[in-house]
């Protein structure tokens, strides 16, 4: 959210029939939980709105008959996926802050890019001039083989100095569900798997202070230089 491609923020629905967004607390804006579906296709829009409310429509134009002002029709087997009003209040106020949140994220990412790019065992997230990245994450790739260190040991070391790393994501085809049901195994998606071997997500969120991001850089670079 907030990213642009060729200076256009509305790029996503240009290339996709449906765009889904998550408003989980770690995302650019939050409603506590939940998300949204964006589409320019009115048929999909109607269907999603019906599914959200028990498969029910109150739009006379979509009903097979009309018994009166109270009348509605259940046309699909739907769900109760309505967001609460309380969450909407939070979402509306978050939306006003989106531009600032994105700027903060870009500022932190830029300083990470500059400070990490001098190390040949590190690969910073790739971008180019047609993209204004929104930096939901900052996936830093580390060549752990050259470091003679496992990723788990690196996590542990960073945790000891108060830096909480994450990994986005574990390749989905290696999850037990997919292995059991689709017989995937390692080697099936080499590029995703080697990315997984190298990637760590380092802290990146709007309220991260300069001192905190400098601490992240200092600990990671100090640790790498000491190896």
Ligand X SMILES: *Cc1c(COP(=O)(O)O)cnc(C)c1O
Site of interaction with ligand X (CB under 6 A): 22, 24, 27, 35
What distances in angstroms separate CA 18 from CA 11, 12, 60, 215, one per listed residue?
12, 9, 25, 40
At its nearest, how many Å lie between ligand X and the CB of residue 218?
A: 28
At its nearest, how many Å lie between ligand X and the CB of residue 69?
A: 37
Nearer to ligand X, 14 or 24 (CB): 24
How far apart are alpha carbons 159 and 53 in whole angstroms? 44
Number of H helices, E strands in the chain: 8, 9
Nearer to ligand X, 27 or 106 (CB): 27
At its nearest, how many Å lie between ligand X and the CB of residue 198?
A: 18
Nearer to ligand X, 134 or 142 (CB): 134
Please name the residue that has the structure tokens 């629905």.
Answer: 13
Q: Which residue is nearest to ligand X (CB)?
A: 22
Nearer to ligand X, 24 or 58 (CB): 24
How far apart are alpha carbons 169 and 137 in whole angstroms? 11
At its nearest, how many Å lie between ligand X and the CB of residue 29?
A: 12
Measured from the Cβ of residue 179, the count of other Cβ atoms closer than 10 Å reads 14
């Amino acid at each position: 959210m907030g990213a642009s491609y060729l200076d256009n923020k509305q790029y996503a629905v240009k290339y996709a029939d449906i765009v889904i967004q998550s408003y989980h607390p770690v995302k650019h804006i939050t409603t506590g939980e939940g998300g949204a579906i964006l589409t320019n296709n009115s048929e999909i829009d109607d269907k999603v709105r019906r599914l959200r409310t028990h498969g029910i429509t109150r739009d006379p134009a979509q009903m097979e008959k009309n018994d009166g002002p109270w009348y509605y029709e259940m046309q699909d087997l739907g769900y109760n996926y309505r967001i609460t009003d309380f969450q909407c209040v939070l979402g509306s106020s978050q939306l006003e802050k989106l531009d600032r949140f994105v700027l903060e994220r870009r500022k932190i990412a830029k300083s990470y890019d500059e400070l990490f790019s001098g190390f040949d065992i590190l690969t910073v997230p790739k971008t180019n001039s047609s993209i204004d990245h929104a930096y939901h994450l900052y996936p830093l790739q580390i060549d752990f083989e050259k470091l003679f260190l496992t990723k788990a040991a690196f996590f542990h070391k960073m945790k000891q100095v108060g830096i909480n790393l994450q990994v986005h994501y574990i390749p989905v085809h290696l999850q037990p569900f997919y292995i059991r049901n689709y017989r995937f195994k390692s080697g099936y998606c080499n590029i995703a798997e080697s990315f997984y071997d190298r990637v760590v997500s380092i802290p990146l969120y709007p309220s991260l202070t300069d001192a905190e991001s400098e601490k992240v850089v200092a600990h990671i670079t100090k640790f790498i230089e000491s190896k």
